[in-house]
Amino acid sequence: MFSKDIENQLFKQDYAPKPTIDGVKFVELKEFADDGGSFLELCRLEKGICAALPHFEAKQMNYSRVMSGVIKATHIHKNQDDLWFVPPHERILVGLKDLRAGSKTEGVVMRFVLGAGKPRLLFIPRRVAHGLANPWRETATVIYFVNRHFSADADKCDEFRLDPYFFGKDFWNITAG
């Protein structure tokens, strides 16, 4: 038994599966470790096509370091798909929202940690808003492939910005519980 005051404060955590966005895919990867280090194959490419995602042709590979406390959000592409990787010994908080008109998952939001001991790729389809944050103490790495070359030319640029708090004021905060 608990006191009435405590009893009124108790609640159960929700362990139900969270909604996912149609077209967003995780590709599980295998890391091989020995006493000298480790090896992780991100993907096999043939003419820019990743074997695990045959509809995605990589045109550019990017490397980004995200400092502690930084929020890099939010943007969307009309014509570009992204394929992200965060090394398993690092972590990044990711936010996605399906903004595709008429999609069966239109409006669905996903929030999850990429990296954190789980080697996998994240495929983000075009027109799905995305951003990331690093609320932890260590700098993190994001390696990502895109299927279009970046252009800073305003007429050719396919990167459209949204408010960093597009997902909500507290979205990027670490969840207590």
Convert the pLDDT of each residue in 10-67 to its tens digit. Answer: 878 888 999 999 999 999 988 887 787 777 778 778 888 988 999 999 999 999 999 9
pLDDT in tens, 65-81: 999 999 998 999 999 99
The whole-angstrom separation of Cα 106 and Cα 31 is: 34
Name the CATH architecture for the domain at 25-31+46-149: Sandwich (2.60)
pLDDT in tens, 93-122: 999 999 999 999 999 999 999 999 999 999
Contact 167, 111 (CB under 8 A): yes
pLDDT of residue 90 exceeding 80, the answer is yes
Phi, psi of 74 (to 5 degrees): -115, 150
Mean pLDDT of all residues in 149-154: 89
Buried b (16+ CB within 10 A) or exposed e, 10-34: eeeeeeeeeeebebbbebebeeeee
Contact 134, 94 (CB under 8 A): no
Contact 139, 67 (CB under 8 A): yes
Please give the model's pTM, rounded to 2 decimal places: 0.86
